[in-house]
């Protein structure tokens, strides 16, 4: 009895390894595309969130962060049931691009030197006269702002390009790898603040934002890596990834230094 018919046409790797099929499907997901009404809605939401934070400070940020969690875990999954891609896209837009801005605007302890937020008691008086011209953002804070802005731009570029990114995917992979490490460290460092802050009018919920952003970057990093090493030789992918990771540190360091000179005099 011949086995030629059974062995001459081997099964595709995807049938032998379901995980490979799942990863391949993630790599082939389309780039983000938005209708005009969606862009207008996003702009309106951003304006409302900033207005709330501007008016109510930390309490406004707590309310906006709670609303973001409600949208992510309850409302959107019921609105788009079974659409995993849409749910992940909403998570990335909310926690990778919007909520980090809210976190930095009201941050009272992580990147400030004296426990003030960027906005001096928005609903009350301004800073003391003798301190009106000084900045309370430390040098580390300037780097953190520039670094986070770089990661937000990298994430936005990946969401808009995805499988069309080609060789650029390797560069984005290296950049997001570095961002994942540093932002995750900040997220772990803030875990005690999250736990203690939840007992104080729920303020700790705001300090969980870096951990949420880190998860968004991790997932995007894994998807970008699938394309980066698929569309070019390994040596070229590694060279671009190392370049992206290096520039993700050097670029924000230069910009942060310039910011420190400007805002601190």
For position 125, what pLDDT does the model report? 46
For position 78, what pLDDT does the model report? 94
Token reading at 37: 């009404």
Residue 112 bridge partners (DSSP):
137
**Is 224 buried (19+), middle (13-18) or exposed (0-12) by CB count in 10 A?**
buried
Q: Kindly state whether residue 28 falls inside one of the protein's structural domains.
A: no
Q: Kindly state whether residue 15 falls inside one of the protein's structural domains.
A: no
CB 164 within 8 A of CB 224: no
Q: Kindly state whether residue 24 falls inside one of the protein's structural domains.
A: no
For position 21, what pLDDT does the model report? 63
For the packed helices 209-228 and 99-106, what is the interaxial angle rounded to 10 degrees? 140
For position 214, what pLDDT does the model report? 96
Residue 137 bridge partners (DSSP):
112
CB atoms within 10 A of CB 22: 11
Q: Kindly state whether residue 66 falls inside one of the protein's structural domains.
A: yes
Closest CA to 249 of 118, 102, 116, 146: 146
Q: Kindly state whether residue 17 falls inside one of the protein's structural domains.
A: no
Backbone angles phi, psi at 192, to 5 degrees: -60, -40
Q: Kindly state whether residue 12 falls inside one of the protein's structural domains.
A: no
HSE of 70, CA atoms in CB hemisphere, 13 A: 6
Q: Give the tens place of pLDDT for each residue, 79-113.
A: 999 888 899 999 999 999 999 999 988 876 666 65
Q: Kindly state whether residue 81 falls inside one of the protein's structural domains.
A: yes
pTM, to two decimals: 0.83
CB atoms within 10 A of CB 31: 12
Domain count, the chain: 1
Residue span of the structural domain in which 182 resides: 35-125+135-264
Q: Along the 265 residues of the chain, how does pLDDT read in single tens digits?
A: 444 444 445 555 445 455 556 666 676 777 888 888 888 998 999 999 999 998 998 899 999 999 999 999 999 999 999 888 899 999 999 999 999 999 988 876 666 655 555 444 444 444 444 444 445 667 788 899 999 999 999 999 999 998 888 889 999 999 999 999 999 999 999 888 888 888 877 888 999 999 999 999 999 999 999 899 887 899 999 999 999 999 999 999 999 999 888 876 5
Q: Kindly state whether residue 20 falls inside one of the protein's structural domains.
A: no
């Amino acid at each position: 009895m011949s086995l030629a018919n059974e062995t001459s046409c081997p099964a595709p790797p995807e049938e032998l390894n379901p995980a490979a099929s799942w990863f391949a499907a993630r790599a082939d997901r389309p780039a983000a595309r938005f209708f005009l009404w969606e862009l207008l809605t996003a702009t309106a939401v951003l304006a409302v969130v900033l207005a709330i934070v501007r008016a109510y400070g930390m309490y406004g940020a707590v309310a906006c962060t709670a609303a973001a969690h409600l949208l992510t875990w309850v409302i959107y999954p019921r609105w788009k049931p079974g659409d995993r891609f849409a749910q992940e896209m909403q998570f990335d837009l909310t926690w990778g691009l919007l909520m980090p801005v809210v976190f930095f605007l009201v941050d009272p302890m992580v990147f400030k030197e004296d426990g003030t937020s960027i906005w001096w008691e928005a609903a009350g008086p301004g800073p003391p006269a003798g301190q009106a011209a000084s900045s309370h953002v430390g040098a580390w804070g300037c780097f953190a702002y520039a670094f986070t802005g770089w990661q937000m731009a990298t994430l936005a570029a990946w969401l808009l390009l995805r499988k069309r990114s080609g060789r650029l995917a390797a560069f984005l992979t290296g950049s997001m790898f570095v961002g994942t490490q540093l932002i995750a460290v900040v997220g772990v460092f803030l875990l005690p603040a999250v736990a203690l802050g939840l007992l104080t009018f729920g303020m700790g919920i705001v300090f969980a934002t870096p951990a949420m952003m880190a998860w968004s970057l991790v997932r995007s990093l894994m998807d970008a890596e699938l394309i980066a090493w698929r569309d070019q030789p390994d040596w070229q992918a590694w060279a671009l990834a190392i370049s992206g990771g290096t520039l993700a540190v050097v670029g924000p360091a230069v910009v942060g230094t310039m910011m420190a000179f400007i805002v601190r005099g």
